[in-house]
């Protein structure tokens, strides 16, 4: 999050505060992150595996969001591989969240599965995608969903009416 190329507002303000000629006040960083997710991450970072709770989908999403924001992917990758990935592979719902988790931790197969399931579901695609998912990913999935619905609609319209009994 605070890297020299980071696009997060906190990082930009921190970089500006280091240049006194610009007259910016020092940056104050307030952590508004999920406290349970932070506790989970700190336990992983401090090798306190025995303190890790059972995870549920909301906690995994919150952990993924913090990992994405603070660039903790590689530090949490082993735990995500051991805990998150197996749960994602057997998931039968919540595909919008799994798209985000897969995006953050680089699970291409899970990302493809969750995207496919979400696109082919009869839910409105955009409303089920997690709010943390990057806009570009959301737009691509929504475009594919719209295309599939449009193609299906055209195929259904081309079926002669006499094929269905009245």
Asked if residue 166 belongs to a domain, the reply is: no
Provide the number of structural domains found in the chain. 2
At 166 the pLDDT is 47
79 and 114 both lie in a single domain = yes
48 and 101 both lie in a single domain = yes
24 and 104 both lie in a single domain = no
Distances (CA, A) of 86 to 81, 110, 121: 8, 10, 22
Alpha helices in 7-134 (DSSP H): 9-17, 35-45, 57-70, 73-79, 85-89, 95-105, 108-120, 125-128
Q: Percent of the chain at pLDDT above 90?
A: 37
At 62 the pLDDT is 94
45 and 15 both lie in a single domain = no
Instruction: Determine the 3-state secondary structure of 122 from DSSP.
Output: coil
pLDDT-derived band of residue 48, with 50, 70 and 90 as boundaries?
A: very high
Asked if residue 53 belongs to a domain, the reply is: yes
59 and 131 both lie in a single domain = yes
124 and 64 both lie in a single domain = yes
Q: pLDDT: is 27 or 124 the higher one?
A: 124
Can you tell me the distance from the alpha carbon of 143 to that of 153, in angstroms, rounded to the nearest whole number?
A: 15
Contact 142, 125 (CB under 8 A): yes
Asked if residue 163 belongs to a domain, the reply is: no
Asked if residue 98 belongs to a domain, the reply is: yes
Range of the domain at 150: 33-158
Average model confidence (pLDDT) for the chain?
81
pLDDT-derived band of residue 78, with 50, 70 and 90 as boundaries?
A: very high
84 and 104 both lie in a single domain = yes
At 66 the pLDDT is 92
At 162 the pLDDT is 47
The first and second tokens of residue 115, run together, are 């995207």
pLDDT-derived band of residue 127, with 50, 70 and 90 as boundaries?
A: low
Nearest to 71 by CA among 140, 135, 139, 10: 10
């Amino acid at each position: 999050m605070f890297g020299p190329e980071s696009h997060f507002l906190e990082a930009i303000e921190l970089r500006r505060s280091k240049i006194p000629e610009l007259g910016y006040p020092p940056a104050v960083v307030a952590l508004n992150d999920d406290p349970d997710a932070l506790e989970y991450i700190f336990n992983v970072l401090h090798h306190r595996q025995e303190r890790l709770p059972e995870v549920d989908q909301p906690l995994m999403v919150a952990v993924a969001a913090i990992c994405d924001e603070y660039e903790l992917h590689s530090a949490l990758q082993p735990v995500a591989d051991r805990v998150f990935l197996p749960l994602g592979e057997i998931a039968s719902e919540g595909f919008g969240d799994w798209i985000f988790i897969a995006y953050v931790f680089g699970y291409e197969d899970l990302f493809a599965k969750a995207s496919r399931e979400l696109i082919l579901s009869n839910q409105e695609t955009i409303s089920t995608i997690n709010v943390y998912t990057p806009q570009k990913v959301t737009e691509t999935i929504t475009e594919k969903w719209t295309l599939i619905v449009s193609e299906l609609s055209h195929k259904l319209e081309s079926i002669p009416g006499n094929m269905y009994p009245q």
